[in-house]
Structure 1
């Protein structure tokens, strides 16, 4: 019995102090996923009701679009970008105003965030998911006019149709600024402007580092995709166009 107890103690001691284990052997096998793999009927039967329910919701018609929308239909502003920016300011401003007593002056989103075109015809919930598949939320940053001026130069240097609203920006042929207005008034460096954007850009995404100078930021807890769905529902027919908000004088 003593020998047995001694053996247990020695074994326990060895287990306690010898804890540097390493794998003796690692084996792997590549399994190719092909259409030839037979379907799992029980799994398909389980998934089908949920899939049908989701498809029904995704195909719900929200509005009508009389022409195709593409983010490549303009150099400095596009109809689809203007739609997104205008939707943002229209639906976000009442929420922001109720929370803070202030109004949104500017909207700035990113060109790369428009992930799909919208085809002529019925606009559905799926359309909103295709255009904005991300979980980005609306945030409003308080920026001094100096930071907004940096934003203006970012737009000029990028030469890209980032969705904007609340701004009227005209460039000369040499890219110098002919006119810049915020809500119809000249930009003032010392003034504070409230800029609606998304949480990704607020953190300096797409090199929009001017957002890092925000004096404060308010998250509206409103996903941009959900905002688009609400906007589409509120409109019978969508009629976005390119306009004069950002142009170069030819």
Structure 2
């Protein structure tokens, strides 16, 4: 289900600030290359200039300031933690907005989905497009405790990933310790995971998520969520402060 203006509403819930528009789609039409209608290079340049300038202007818009370089690393990193935290907070806000009777327990952002580091200093829209070049959407999954255990085991096997809402101790590529929402993991319980549609479809060796009990689309691009959230925090005078809190560690 698509919720009109839902991203704006979620950000109001999260930050109580004004929203900003973000480029979400660029449409183009073919121009017939007829021998009787030929445009010079100068004509073409003049034709596309307003569109190029608008796009370049948006990409160069400063949306945040970072105190440090944010580089992905394992078992955890300031970059993966930042993205996962924003994903979990937005998932909670979505459920509140949609009047769901549950809240996500865990957020997951795959390591490979973050393509570059974010630099120290000014962060622009373009930086977020480089960080997340894919059109991934935020989704919610209800999984059994057994599926959750298989899912977290895959995270442990690869030595860490982007997570929020859990604390995972890894021993020789296996789960040594696992807490969800501050409580000991219970294989008999069901859990809600907020992640991207690529992972939900079994991408990046997460095929166990095909055994989910429920699946909810949000229609929200994770890249847009990041841009809007960082920009709103910037307007409130808050800089990006990386966090390492031991949410994933080697025992």
Q: TM-score, normalised by structure 1?
A: 0.79
Deviation digits for residues 222-244 of structure 1, max 9, x if unmatched? 10000000111122200122221
Judging changes above 3 Å, is the alpha-carbon distance between structure 1 residues 199 and 176 closer, same or farther for their aligned structure 2 residues? closer
- Asked if the contact 2:91/2:103 (under 8 Å) is kept, the reply is no
How far apart in 1 are the matches of 2:60 and 2:91? 25
Are residues 1:169 and 2:168 paired? yes
How far apart in 2 are the matches of 1:200 and 1:134? 10
Matches within 5 A, 1:44-123: 44-71=45-72, 74-99=73-98, 100-123=100-123
Structure 1 position 206, deviation (Å): 0.7
Q: TM-score, normalised by structure 2?
A: 0.79
- Asked if the contact 1:175/1:248 (under 8 Å) is kept, the reply is no
How far apart in 1 are the matches of 2:82 and 2:144? 26
Are residues 1:224 and 2:225 paired? no
How far apart in 1 are the matches of 2:141 and 2:156? 21
Structure of greater Rg = 1
> What is the total number of aligned residue pairs between the two structures?
207
How far apart in 2 are the matches of 1:104 and 1:97? 11
SS at match of 1:207: coil
Paired position in structure 1 for 2:15? none
SS at match of 2:187: coil
Are residues 1:186 and 2:191 paired? no
How far apart in 1 are the matches of 2:188 and 2:120? 44
Structure 1 position 133, deviation (Å): 1.2
Structure 2: gaps (5+ residues): 1-39
Structure 1: gaps (5+ residues): 1-38
Deviation digits for residues 202-230 of structure 1, max 9, x if unmatched? 11001101210110111111100000001
- The answer to which of 88-97 and 133-142 deviates more is 88-97
Structure 1 position 81, deviation (Å): 0.5
How far apart in 1 are the matches of 2:78 and 2:43? 47
Structure 1 position 199, deviation (Å): 0.7
Paired position in structure 2 for 1:247? 249
How far apart in 1 are the matches of 2:174 and 2:155? 12
How far apart in 2 are the matches of 1:234 and 1:85? 17
Judging changes above 3 Å, is the alpha-carbon distance between structure 1 residues 183 and 40 closer, same or farther for their aligned structure 2 residues? same
- Asked if the contact 2:68/2:242 (under 8 Å) is kept, the reply is no
Are residues 1:237 and 2:239 paired? yes
Structure 1 position 175, deviation (Å): 4.3
SS at match of 2:133: coil
Deviation digits for residues 79-131 of structure 1, max 9, x if unmatched? 10101000111122111233222101001121110011111111111111111
Structure 1 position 177, deviation (Å): 3.5
Matches within 5 A, 1:5-20: none
How far apart in 1 are the matches of 2:109 and 2:240? 20
Judging changes above 3 Å, is the alpha-carbon distance between structure 1 residues 45 and 204 closer, same or farther for their aligned structure 2 residues? same
